[in-house]
Amino acid sequence: MNSSSNFIELKKASRIWAIGSIHSNSISFESIRNYIIKNFQENDKLVFLGNLIGLGDLTKETISSVIDLRFDLMSKHKLKPTEIVFLRGAQEEMFSKLLQLQIAPNPIEIINWMFDHGVDKTLSSYGFSKDEVINIASSGTVSISKWTSRLNKSILKHPGHKEYFTNLKHAAYSSSKKILFVNRGVDITRPLSAQNDCFWWGYQNFSKINKPYNSFIRIVRGYQSNNSNELEHAKNRVICTLFKQPLTNNTIYAGIFKENGEILELFESN
């Protein structure tokens, strides 16, 4: 995986596949995975729009399944590493902060807030209980450092998992700069390089955008916080949202796009 830039330009893309938030639901992802394997073509690219993890119980299984898909496609279609992209979502952002908990000014508050947003499920998947972490968070910097070291070692036991967490991108776009892929949103008053954490935390009223953002006539995102999203309605909007609330929804949305922003197909897991 290439970590030299926070952004990926998808060059010479016949089609670009995009997968919305999976939230550790490896069972629902299986049908998406099989559909991609059967229908992926030469010069196709693939973007995972963040939030692979969190909320569900099967984080390890989900990441391993995604990594296996990546290897299968790279081998069969001779893809470069930059042609399969993993974006950072809010769940990955929170988990990365958890791995640096020893430098947090208020670890107990941070832990409780993260657990309220589903990060405890990811920790549980790697073998750590919620109560254990809460106790560690109140025991001082040295104890927290030892615990984060244990967590990193647990992640390293699973091939490709550490590389996944350390090589996440902020956004991806086609070489024509007509279509942009993000986790949650952008501040349309700023350039891409000045978005900070808007990509995964979102921006006020982003869902109401009805005009292009710079040269991007289509923005594809993998998560939204409001409930109103019918997949077919996305075809007539600047924003195409590949996610539907509530968070307990086990359906995964995905799509296939042309590099000029045209939507070729929208589909969901079985």
Q: What is the pLDDT of residue 4?
A: 54
Question: Do 61 and 100 lie in a common domain?
Answer: no
Q: 234 is in which domain, residue-wise?
A: 7-89+170-268
- Do residues 182 and 216 make contact, with C-beta atoms less than 8 angstroms apart? no
| Banded pLDDT at 215 (limits 50, 70, 90) | very high
Question: Do 25 and 82 lie in a common domain?
Answer: yes
The total number of structural domains in the chain stands at 2
Least confident of 9-18, 107-116, 144-153, 222-231: 222-231
pLDDT digits (tens, 9 = 90+) for 160-179: 999 999 999 999 999 999 99
Question: Do 120 and 231 lie in a common domain?
Answer: no
Distance CA 185, CA 8 (A): 17
Establish if 70 belongs to a structural domain.
Answer: yes
Question: Do 176 and 70 lie in a common domain?
Answer: yes
Here the CATH number for the domain that contains residue 237 is: 3.60.21.10
Average pLDDT over residues 97-125: 95
CA separation, residue 38 to residues 20, 25, 31, 50 (Å): 19, 21, 11, 23
Establish if 165 belongs to a structural domain.
Answer: no
User: Is 144 a residue whose pLDDT tops 70?
Assistant: yes
pLDDT digits (tens, 9 = 90+) for 33-82: 999 999 999 999 999 999 999 999 999 999 999 999 999 999 999 999 99
Establish if 253 belongs to a structural domain.
Answer: yes
- Do residues 18 and 47 make contact, with C-beta atoms less than 8 angstroms apart? yes
Question: Do 262 and 184 lie in a common domain?
Answer: yes
Establish if 20 belongs to a structural domain.
Answer: yes
Task: Give the DSSP letter of residue 7.
Answer: E
Question: What distance, in Å, lies between the first and last C-alpha atoms of the chain?
Answer: 30
SS3 46: strand
Question: Do 124 and 246 lie in a common domain?
Answer: no
Question: Do 178 and 73 lie in a common domain?
Answer: yes
pTM value is 0.95
Question: Do 145 and 195 lie in a common domain?
Answer: no
Distance CA 34, CA 39 (A): 9
Establish if 104 belongs to a structural domain.
Answer: yes
- Do residues 173 and 18 make contact, with C-beta atoms less than 8 angstroms apart? no
Question: Do 69 and 55 lie in a common domain?
Answer: yes
Q: What is the pLDDT of residue 3?
A: 42
Establish if 232 belongs to a structural domain.
Answer: yes
Give the residue from 132, 156, 180 where a domain finishes. Answer: 156
- Do residues 224 and 207 make contact, with C-beta atoms less than 8 angstroms apart? yes
Q: What is the pLDDT of residue 246?
A: 83
pLDDT digits (tens, 9 = 90+) for 194-213: 998 999 999 988 988 889 99
Establish if 247 belongs to a structural domain.
Answer: yes
Establish if 164 belongs to a structural domain.
Answer: no
Q: Which two tokens stand for residue 23?
A: 């939230």
Q: What is the pLDDT of residue 134?
A: 93
Of 47, 4, 24, 6, the closest CA to residue 247 belongs to 24
Distance CA 93, CA 160 (A): 18
Q: What is the pLDDT of residue 1?
A: 38
